[in-house]
Amino acid sequence: MRKRIAILGSTGSIGTQTLEVIAQNPDHFEVEVLTANNNIELLIEQTKIFHPNVVVISNVCHFDQLKEALKDEPVKIYAGREALNQVVEMDTIDVVLTAMVGYSGLIPTINAIKAGKNIALANKETMVVAGEIINRLAIENRVSIYPVDSEHSAIFQCLVGEFNNEIEKIYLTASGGPFRGFSMEQLALVTKADALKHPNWNMGAKITIDSASMMNKGFEVIEAKWLFGLNPEQIDVIVHPQSIVHSIVQFRDGSMKAQMGLPDMKLPIQYALNFPDRLNSSFRRFSFFDYPMLTFEQPNTKNFRNLALAFEALNQGGNMPCILNAANEVAVQAFLTDRISFLQMPEVIEKIMEKASFIKNPDLEDYIRSDKEVRILTAAQIKKLAVQKN
């Protein structure tokens, strides 16, 4: 039986790589649903190749054009947020791979879990915002959440066969991004073009900026807490510029297990989709002699403040990670549109973490309200900076 996959966000970096994995393993997977926000050209092309039963375009403006382009294809076409939220409930889906950007992944993921679908989780912001709710719903609905994020996939792979063995600690590796080793003076001058050049991974714009600012690693710390049931003290971040060791688990006897390989997201995607069985792959193999040195260093949380802010949000708990995420989404957007500088991003986020209403035990409605409030607060804060500048 082939697994029927729904890909939320099929035109993004993870979405397209998931389709490559599916194309290489036609005996194991088939595409049931594809969804995209705006990129209809690619969505049309993907539909003609992979023949999903349903496609959803989130932005309703594109509906007519999509319908016209696919009129000869036997595919159902829907548009809008509501359709996206509902499509994950289809009986014919086995696994939902969530690869949308940011907070937008939250509600579709919750609906998919409630409908009993296993999740291949690439949308880490869902866990950052509402990890506690996601975990509770997953248990209630007996669904599994398979990490796609390479670090979390690494930890997940290290934990196979260790069911009764407690984790003492995990080490999340970080490449350090394009600005590793930069002084504050240097960071003050970096541009968005500089930030968009990641040394090891080829990803979408939002996560590439998050990687350059180390917010991505901060989010991954929070994601790890929820995925593996850890305390903040059990999670360490280690900068490893070669991105070969994808993360490490340390057990109570001091033994450490690491998962290694060349950086290629197709591997964690394939592992998540076909867990527990590994599939053949033609991915390039690691050669020790191409990498005579694997190096490790301490992250610099003074210059990369976002990582410290994420730990702070995690320690405060409640809706603070949700506040962190919403402020970051608005700040990254402002950086990408040249409204604030690289170093103003953590400044803005820190301010908002002080200002936004804190809720100790939030429910889903609280998270939705908090996300809205923070977006408004952050936009106002950014405007204020622009006024000061002029």
> Look-up: residue for tokens 């297990």?
257
Q: Which of 124/305 has CB closer to Mn ion?
A: 124
CB 239 to Mn ion: min, Å: 13
CA–CA separation, 241 and 249 (whole Å): 19
Residue ranges in 132-191 that form contacts with Mn ion under rule CB under 5 A:
149-151
CB 153 to Mn ion: min, Å: 9
Q: Which of 150/213 has CB closer to Mn ion?
A: 150
CA–CA separation, 175 and 180 (whole Å): 8
**Who's near 91: CB < 8 A, 6+ residues apart?**
none
Size of the site for Mn ion (CB under 5 A): 3
CB 172 to Mn ion: min, Å: 8
Nearest to 158 by CA among 231, 239, 227: 227
**Contact present, 238 and 299 (Cβ < 8 Å):** yes
What type of residue sits at position 248?
Answer: I
Nearest to 150 by CA among 259, 226, 235, 227: 259
CB 224 to Mn ion: min, Å: 10
CB 117 to Mn ion: min, Å: 23
Position 32 contacts Mn ion (CB under 5 A): no
Q: Which of 15/362 has CB closer to Mn ion?
A: 15
Q: Which of 35/150 has CB closer to Mn ion?
A: 150
CB 388 to Mn ion: min, Å: 35
Q: Which of 52/147 has CB closer to Mn ion?
A: 147
CB 219 to Mn ion: min, Å: 9
Give the Cβ contact number of residue 214 at 10 Å: 30
**Contact present, 200 and 263 (Cβ < 8 Å):** yes
Q: Which of 32/149 has CB closer to Mn ion?
A: 149
Which residue's CB comes closest to Mn ion? 149
For every residue of 53-117, which 3-state class applies, written as one string? CEEEECCHHHHHHHHHHCCCCCCEEEECHHHHHHHCCCCCCCEEEECCCHHHHHHHHHHHHHCCC
Asked whether the bond before 321 is cis by omega within 30 degrees of 0, the reply is no
Q: Which of 212/352 has CB closer to Mn ion?
A: 212
Q: Which of 16/85 has CB closer to Mn ion?
A: 16
Expressed in angstroms, the distance from the first to the final Cα of the chain is 63
Nearest to 269 by CA among 79, 17, 50, 28: 17
Where does 181-254 have alpha helices with state H?
Answer: 184-187, 192-195, 205-213, 215-228
Q: Which of 299/362 has CB closer to Mn ion?
A: 299
CA–CA separation, 110 and 188 (whole Å): 39
Cα dihedral value 317, 319, 323, 329, nearest 10: 100
Which residues sit at the interface with Mn ion, rule CB under 5 A? 149-151
